[in-house]
Amino acid sequence: MRTYATNSPAAIGRLIAMAILADGRLDNREVDWIKHNDTASLLGVDRDTLIQVLLDCCRDVITEAEQERVFLLEDHRLARLADDITDKALQKVALSAILLIAKADGDVSEGEQTLLRFLMNRWQITLEELTSA
């Protein structure tokens, strides 16, 4: 996967892309939720940047899959992506957005749960902290 600057809009966008792909498919309801709820501006990301990062993430996964089997939610991959966001406020914004996107299709999948749990543990953020933010 590509490298993005720490705390950059692209780094946050990639976590959102991972949330969309976490259940193994690109669900139109999740993409529609992003469009209709102006997720990009809530994240401090330009909409075109968010879309480009999603496309780049898909391309990166396809490229990796050509070389070997890809496990999207491996700890080492998630750790690298999580470590690109060091600002606690941005971490909370990213987690809140991921949770909302995960619920957009009516079901928080096992993959989405894995991603959320990993990030919350890595960043040491509780659900209570998210609901009070």
| pLDDT value, residue 89 | 93
Q: What percent of the chain has pLDDT over 70?
A: 93
Whose CA is closest to 33, among 114, 110, 105, 115? 105
Model confidence band, residue 118 (pLDDT cutoffs 50, 70, 90): very high
Does residue 23 form part of some domain?
yes
What total number of domains does the chain contain?
1
Does residue 1 form part of some domain?
no
Does residue 2 form part of some domain?
no
Give the span between the Cα atoms of 86 and 96, in whole angstroms: 16
Range of the domain at 73: 9-132
Does residue 127 form part of some domain?
yes
Q: What is the mean pLDDT of residues 77-81?
A: 92
Does residue 115 form part of some domain?
yes
Does residue 79 form part of some domain?
yes
- Give 26-77 pLDDT, tens digit per residue: 777 777 777 777 777 778 888 888 888 888 988 887 777 666 665 778 898 8
pTM of the predicted protein model: 0.84
The CATH number of whichever domain residue 31 belongs to comes to: 1.10.3680
| pLDDT value, residue 133 | 59
Token pair in block for residue 100: 């909302």
First to last CA, the chain: 31
Q: What is the mean pLDDT of residues 90-103?
A: 89
The residue that leads in pLDDT, 4 or 123, is 123
